[in-house]
Structure 1
Amino acid sequence: MTKTITFAIMHFSVAFTVAYLITGSFVVGGAVALIEPAINTVAYYFHEKIWNRLRRDNTLQNTFVSAGESFALKS
């Protein structure tokens, strides 16, 4: 949990610093530092769901290919 919290602090800091350096505004920097990580968190959730589905589908496909190859070699 400590690693997660320190990563979140780093993420907010980087987002704030980049937005502040680009705009010169503490308000915009603060808004970006709050909004960007929140949106990124939601995007990451869907990224993981898609990635897990692709990995599961790929594992099934590899299983069938391996089984077919084994059968072909035994015949």
Structure 2
Amino acid sequence: MPRKLIKTGTYSIMHLTVAVAVAYALTRDWHIALGVGIIEPMVQTVAYTIHEAIWGKVQDAEDKR
């Protein structure tokens, strides 16, 4: 298995663990914590995609100068 794929998988597990732990620390409710842990990475993926698109447009504008 490629090292990059393993790294992506372990990072995803770490991200989920941190999200659940923080949500649990704030709410003391495992159901909410697991919900946040599952939903947050999905929302983060969309936000990252939008962020990258905006930065791409900024870079394109700078390149045209």
Instruction: Tell whether the structures are fold-level matches, with TM greater than 0.5.
Output: yes
Tell me whether 1:13 sits opposite 2:17 in the alignment: yes
Tell me whether 1:46 sits opposite 2:55 in the alignment: no
Higher relative contact order (CA 8 A, sep 6+): 2
User: For 1:1-75, what aligned pairs fall within 5 Å after superposition?
Assistant: 1-61=5-65
> 1:26: how far off?
0.6
> TM-score of the superposition, structure 1-length normalised?
0.77
Cα distance between partner residues in 1 of 2:8 and 2:54: 22
Q: How many residues in Structure 1 have an aligned counterpart in Structure 2?
A: 61
Cα distance between partner residues in 2 of 1:46 and 1:52: 10
Say which one has the larger Rg: 1
Q: Which runs of 4+ in 1 moved over 4 A?
A: none
* Fraction of identical pairs, as percent: 39
Which ranges in structure 1 are unaligned for 5 or more consecutive residues?
62-75
Deviations 1:9-57, CA, capped at 9 Å, x for gaps: 1110000000001111110110000111110000001110110111111
Which ranges in structure 2 are unaligned for 5 or more consecutive residues?
none
The two structures, once aligned, show a CA RMSD in angstroms of 0.7
